[in-house]
């Protein structure tokens, strides 16, 4: 295969699609062959994204059904759920990296329950590799369809999976409090996302029923070897991007906070984007903004036998487009960090 990977990005008019294009422009092996945005077809990227004005050679936006798939190596689906699976299921040839929720769950009935519609392509669900990169490395080289995790599950699972698998924490009484920037709600016009509605305010949403809950429980259950039910409360905070999760857990029998720190350090010793902070340093979104990095740490809870695990990511990069490119790198035999070495933005 040529060292140049020709990509198509579906949904380039949304935040996820635009960030994927931004990262792809700095990737040494990517050539952007096609960009779609049905509602914006005929426009240039710079017409809807001012920061793309210095890239006049980007292909114009077109309708997805008008893309010539001949010679395209991989398609990134940055479309809403249901829309994504319906379109991608009809493709033959390109490998698929889907950033929607359509192929993350294993069970079509659970998908229908949480997303309010029958799955458009249930036969493909079993073929998808769940693309939490640090736990999917062995499966990615042969994958034809990769389901990128949601942003909330990415942070939660990176924080918890090694601890559950080794028995350092209990599968019971896991409570996740999560904070996300407004870009996580998408770019469509919504009254609740107007500046006067979100500025100088924080509010919870999806109480007791956020759609990322079954995804987190599914993957935790696989590692724990038993059904896992979590308490999960997401909050919208007045910042553009970033995500912080504070997770309280029960220690496993005979385990200490030091054991948990050692477990994470060992688990991610060879993972270039996952970092365990020095003891006593709390992760913050400013540490990872604009980057594919993850910062984790663990603290003793005041309640005996419990610990607090904290994780911070950029919801649009490691929580979405950056992880998608990280997966692509491993699918095509490239260095895992290719195109993703940007240092975090600060301030």
Confidence of residue 343 (pLDDT cuts 50, 70, 90): very high
Is a pLDDT exceeding 80 seen at residue 134? yes
Query: How many whole angstroms separate alpha carbon 110 and alpha carbon 118?
Result: 10
* pLDDT at res. 92: 85
In this prediction, residues 51-63 reach a mean pLDDT of 96
pLDDT tens digit sequence for 15-48: 999 999 999 999 999 999 999 998 889 999 999 9
Is a pLDDT exceeding 60 seen at residue 189? no
* pLDDT at res. 57: 95
Kindly state the percentage of the chain with pLDDT values over 70. 96
Is a pLDDT exceeding 70 seen at residue 344? yes
Query: How many whole angstroms separate alpha carbon 24 and alpha carbon 205?
Result: 32
* pLDDT at res. 130: 98
pLDDT tens digit sequence for 211-254: 999 999 999 999 999 999 999 999 999 999 999 999 999 999 99
* pLDDT at res. 1: 44
Q: Which residue from 169, 142, 143, 137 is spatially nearest to 156, judged by alpha carbons? A: 169
Contact residues for 189 (Cβ-Cβ < 8 A; gap 6+): none
Q: What DSSP string describes 269-298? A: TT-TTEEEPPTTPPP-GGGTTTSS-EEEEE
In this prediction, residues 125-130 reach a mean pLDDT of 96
Q: What DSSP string describes 83-148? A: HHHHHHTT--SSEEEE-SSTTT-S-HHHHHHHHSS--S-GGGGGG-EE--HHHHTTTGGG-SEEEP
What distances in angstroms separate CA 15 from CA 10, 12, 69, 162, 277, one per listed residue?
12, 8, 24, 31, 29
* pLDDT at res. 319: 97
* pLDDT at res. 308: 98
Is a pLDDT exceeding 90 seen at residue 150? yes
* pLDDT at res. 70: 93
* pLDDT at res. 185: 61
- Residue ranges per structural domain of the chain: 5-127, 152-315
Under CATH, what is the fold of the domain 5-127?
Answer: Rossmann fold (3.40.50)
Longest Cα–Cα distance of the chain, Å, equals 62
Q: Hey, do 5-127 and 152-315 end up sharing a CATH topology, with the first three levels equal? A: no
Is a pLDDT exceeding 60 seen at residue 2? no
* pLDDT at res. 188: 58
Q: Measure the CA dihedral 80/82/87/88, to 10°.
A: 90
Q: Which residues are catalytic?
A: 151
**Summary mean pLDDT of the chain:** 94
Tokens 């553009």 identify what position?
240
Assign domain 152-315 to a CATH class.
alpha beta
Q: Which residue from 290, 58, 80, 33 is spatially nearest to 49, judged by alpha carbons? A: 58
Number of other CB atoms surrounding residue 282 within 10 Å: 14
Is a pLDDT exceeding 60 seen at residue 187? no
Crossing angle for the helix pair 151-166 and 257-267, to the nearest 10 degrees: 110
pLDDT tens digit sequence for 78-106: 998 888 888 888 888 899 999 999 999 99
* pLDDT at res. 3: 86
């Amino acid at each position: 295969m040529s060292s140049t990977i020709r990509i198509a990005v579906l949904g380039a008019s949304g935040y996820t699609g635009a960030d994927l294009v931004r990262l792809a422009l700095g990737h040494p092996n990517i050539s952007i062959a096609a960009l779609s945005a049905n509602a914006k077809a005929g426009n240039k990227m710079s017409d809807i994204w001012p920061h793309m004005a210095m890239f006049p050679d980007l292909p114009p936006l077109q309708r997805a059904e008008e893309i010539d798939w001949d010679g395209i190596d991989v398609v990134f689906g940055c479309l809403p759920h249901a829309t994504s699976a319906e379109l991608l299921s009809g493709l033959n040839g390109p490998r698929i990296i889907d950033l929607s929720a359509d192929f993350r769950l294993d069970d079509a009935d659970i998908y229908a329950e949480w997303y309010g519609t029958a799955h458009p392509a249930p036969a493909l669900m079993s073929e998808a590799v769940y693309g939490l990169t640090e736990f999917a490395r062995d499966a990615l080289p042969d994958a034809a369809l990769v389901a990128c995790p949601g942003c909330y599950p990415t942070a939660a699972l990176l924080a918890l999976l090694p601890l559950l698998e080794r028995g350092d924490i209990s599968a019971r009484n896991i409570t996740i409090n999560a904070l996300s920037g407004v870009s996580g709600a998408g770019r469509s016009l919504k009254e609740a996302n107007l500046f006067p509605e979100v500025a100088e305010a924080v509010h919870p949403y999806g109480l007791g029923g956020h759609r990322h809950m079954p995804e987190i429980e599914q993957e935790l259950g696989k590692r724990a070897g038993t059904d896992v039910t979590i308490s999960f409360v997401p909050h919208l905070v007045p910042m553009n991007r970033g995500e912080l999760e504070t997770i309280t857990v029960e220690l496993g029998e005979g385990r200490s906070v030091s054991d948990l720190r050692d477990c994470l350090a060992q688990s991610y010793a060879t993972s270039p984007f996952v970092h365990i902070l020095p003891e006593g340093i709390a992760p913050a979104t400013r540490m990872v903004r604009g980057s594919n990095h993850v910062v984790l740490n663990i603290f003793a809870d005041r309640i005996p036998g419990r610990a607090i695990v904290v994780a911070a990511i950029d919801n649009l990069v490691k929580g979405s487009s950056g992880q998608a490119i990280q997966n692509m790198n491993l699918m095509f035999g490239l260095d895992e960090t290719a195109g993703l070495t940007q240092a975090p933005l600060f301030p």
